[in-house]
A and B are shown apart, each in its own frame.
Chain A
């Protein structure tokens, strides 16, 4: 289905559109549930008034100051991870080629725990994580460069960097005193607990700038998936598109890790789940972002409620989901 407005046209697959709408609905329902339920229940009709400062003081505090920032951070971080995962899976042409596994998240973790151990504030930790991610990605990209960057080489070099950085991370943990180590260890699990608006803003800003960029290179990215030569033959500047995609993907996973810690597997699973639902032959960027948002907020809701009053960090839950997903991948994809 093609939609035309003057010279501007966009191809819409009805099924992809339907999936997107359903994902938005699911995200809305999860958000409402997360805002309303918990130790202190806020009736659904009171949520809106509580957010806009018209409710009871307790409801305002709990919904506006505690729950809303957490849910919004979760939605944004999930979307950023989902989008970043879709970009890298497309670039590496591999369903497992997500930023978690090719060193970027590990690099962000190194920056983050260095800041934790140095006693940095939330802002310093976020800055450290973003810097770690960008530096790692730049090194991996340079090391993988041999007259162009091939997906498989990016993955392999990234895996080497990942192993090195994981060792560095555990070295930092062993050198720190036990309190710092425990704090850093907690951050390393990935959590949305205690997140405020200051965590949500940077991610929102990044998405605002990068989402349109990503969508504008979605088509050439799909062409590149067919092979560099085919894409070049169709007049696509392969290395330019690839560099733009890598930059966007790195920044997205960097700000997401900065906000919530290295929550693993969202970037891996979201694009693949979205792809299965839309029955698209390749990864799709917009539905991957939506799927990431739903996945992370739903996982966080479950992490808070399943073992209540024990609060699990959401990273544990996404790791468990990721494990299940790997098993499914193992069972289903036999061609």
Chain B
């Protein structure tokens, strides 16, 4: 049954399940344009606003006529890489969350909540703390290893046992595994106070302190994960009908699962290597997106990848503005915003039944 997969890349697939999407594709395309415009606005705000006040004219000058002044250096060397990092990390986490929720059919799936980010963080801590590897292209592989291990462990931990993988089981398995990883990370960090001092900021989840070089070197991994993830929209759509129905419609179930796992690993590993473990971004965004565009993954996945960086950068800007001249790390801002939303979702009666 090859044709099913081939038509994914062609972006067609009107013949089944497409009725809902076909009813209002023009609205959804227009919405995509609005989302991109919003993203551009937030990105501009992220470049212009910060702990140090820079006039709007100076922001423009920094690009058209850089003169090496302090303001221009701040913008070119710090804020632009930081903004690009936020775009990349946001897109990867948003897509990773959407993929995980689709694959596990679990409304509470989130890379940070299910321990995948903490697994990746343990990998990075091992690389930096024990082996002294400081090149992001080297330690990103440790992050991938940790993320992959965590995905496999949490997924099988949750789906073992009589009740199968209920949302509660999956969430608990994720928290438990995440705590093992965090405990081992902090044990490693305690042996070396210099690494501890460096890592305590990174472990909070922060976009600050990474250079443009890091971003450039991690970008290929992020792009690979994004492309692979977006290509999985169609088989995931068919799998959502149930495993048997999916098989009957020509989906290779195991291959889809494995490829989704690979995509999630790439996305979470690269995002964590860049910004530390960030909780809730991948949870909240796909929920909001599904409420707006419906359950079709061909819309949910790209919308999630575009909407998440808006919210991540927005939170980052808020964190910079509320604690001047210091800043609140974006991971904290997100935890404060995300936890109440998560608790609201958890209080809904439906969750247990899903």
Return the chain A residue nearest B152 by Cβ: A330
> Among A97, A160, A335, which residue has its beta carbon within 8 angstroms of that of B343?
A160
Known: A143-B343, A335-B162. A189 touches B183 (CB 8 A): yes
Q: Does B156 contact A (CB under 8 A)?
A: yes
The stretch of A61-69, A167-175, A193-201, A249-257 in contact with B is A167-175
Q: Is the CB of B342 within 8 A of A167?
A: no
Q: Is the CB of A167 within 8 A of B336?
A: yes
Q: Is the CB of A326 within 8 A of B168?
A: no
Q: How far is the CA of A189 from the CA of B340 in the complex (A)?
A: 27
B182 contacts across to A, CB distance below 8 A: 166
Size range of the chain B interface in the assembly: 35 or more
Q: Is the CB of B338 within 8 A of A264?
A: no
The stretch of A27-35, A37-45, A224-232, A311-319 in contact with B is A311-319
Q: Is the CB of B183 within 8 A of A171?
A: no
B205 contacts across to A, CB distance below 8 A: 167
Q: Is the CB of B190 within 8 A of A189?
A: yes
> Among A94, A315, A330, which residue has its beta carbon within 8 angstroms of that of B172?
A94
The stretch of A1-9, A72-80, A149-157, A211-219 in contact with B is A149-157
Q: How far is the CA of A168 from the CA of B332 in the complex (A)?
A: 7
B279 contacts across to A, CB distance below 8 A: 163, 167
Give min CB distance, B350 to chain A, whole Å: 12
The stretch of B77-85, B192-200, B234-242, B243-251 in contact with A is B192-200
A264 contacts across to B, CB distance below 8 A: 179, 183
Give min CB distance, B200 to chain A, whole Å: 5
A244 contacts across to B, CB distance below 8 A: none
Main secondary structure of the interface of A (DSSP, over half): helix
Q: Does B45 contact A (CB under 8 A)?
A: no
A333 contacts across to B, CB distance below 8 A: 160-161
Known: A163-B342, A330-B153. A157 touches B347 (CB 8 A): yes
Q: Which of B112, B173, B177, B347 has the most CB of A within 10 A?
A: B347
Q: Does B49 contact A (CB under 8 A)?
A: no
Q: Is the CB of A101 within 8 A of B176?
A: yes
Q: How far is the CA of A113 from the CA of B166 in the complex (A)?
A: 34
B186 contacts across to A, CB distance below 8 A: 185, 188-189
Give the residues from 280 to 335 in chain A that come closer than 8 angstroms, CB to CB, to chain B: 312-313, 315-316, 319-320, 322-323, 326-327, 329-330, 333-335
Q: Is the CB of B168 within 8 A of A155?
A: yes
Q: Does B43 contact A (CB under 8 A)?
A: no
> Among B193, B335, B347, which residue has its beta carbon within 8 angstroms of that of A163?
B335
List 5 A–B pairs whose Cβ atoms lie within 8 Å, in order of A's numbering: A150-B352, A155-B171, A162-B175, A167-B331, A319-B180
What 18 new A-B contacts, CB under 8 Å, besides A174-B201, A178-B197?
Answer: A152-B168, A160-B339, A160-B343, A163-B338, A164-B338, A171-B329, A174-B200, A185-B190, A264-B179, A264-B183, A319-B179, A319-B183, A319-B187, A322-B179, A322-B180, A327-B153, A333-B160, A335-B161
Q: Which 6 A-B pairs have the closest CB atoms?
A: A167-B335, A319-B183, A156-B346, A164-B339, A96-B172, A160-B342
